[in-house]
Amino acid sequence: MHPSDTGTKTLETHQPCIRCSYDLYGLPLSGSCPECGVAVERSLRGDLLQYADDNYRATLLRGVSLIMFGILAHLVLFILVMFAGIAGGAGIGFALSILSLAATATGLYGYFLYASPDPGQLSNNRGEKPRQILRVAIVVSAIAAIGQIALGGLALFMAPTPGQVGAAEGVMMLSAVAGLAGSVAWIVQFFAAMLYTKWLSPRIPSSRVLKRASLLMWLGPVLFLLFCTVVTPLIALIMYYNMFSWIRKALITIRDEGEYFDDPTKILN
Return residues touching Zn ion (CB under 5 A): 17, 19-20, 22, 33, 35-36
Nearer of residues 43 and 175 to Zn ion, judged by Cβ: 43
Closest approach, Cβ 258 to Zn ion, in A, equals 21
| Residue 37: CB minimum distance to Zn ion, A | 7
Our CB check for Zn ion shows the closer of 35 and 169 to be 35
Specify the 3-state DSSP secondary structure of 37.
coil
The least distance separating Zn ion from the CB of residue 112, rounded to whole angstroms, comes to 24
Alpha helices in 36-164 (DSSP H): 54-87, 90-114, 128-158
7 or 37: CB nearest Zn ion: 37
Residues contacting residue 52 through CB under 8 Å, at least 6 positions apart: 18, 118, 120, 203
- In the complex, least distance from residue 205 CB atom to Zn ion, rounded to whole angstroms: 25
- In the complex, the smallest distance separating the C-beta of residue 15 from Zn ion, rounded to whole angstroms, is 11
3-state secondary structure of 10: strand
Q: Between 36 and 181, name the residue whose CB sits nearer to Zn ion.
A: 36
Q: Using an 8 Å Cβ cutoff, are 25 and 13 in contact?
A: yes
**Neighbour-count burial for 24-42, b at 16+ CB within 10 Å, e otherwise:** beebebbebbeeeebebeb
Q: What is the DSSP string of 229-241?
A: -SHHHHHHHHHHH
Q: Which is nearer to Zn ion, 28 or 170 (CB)?
A: 28
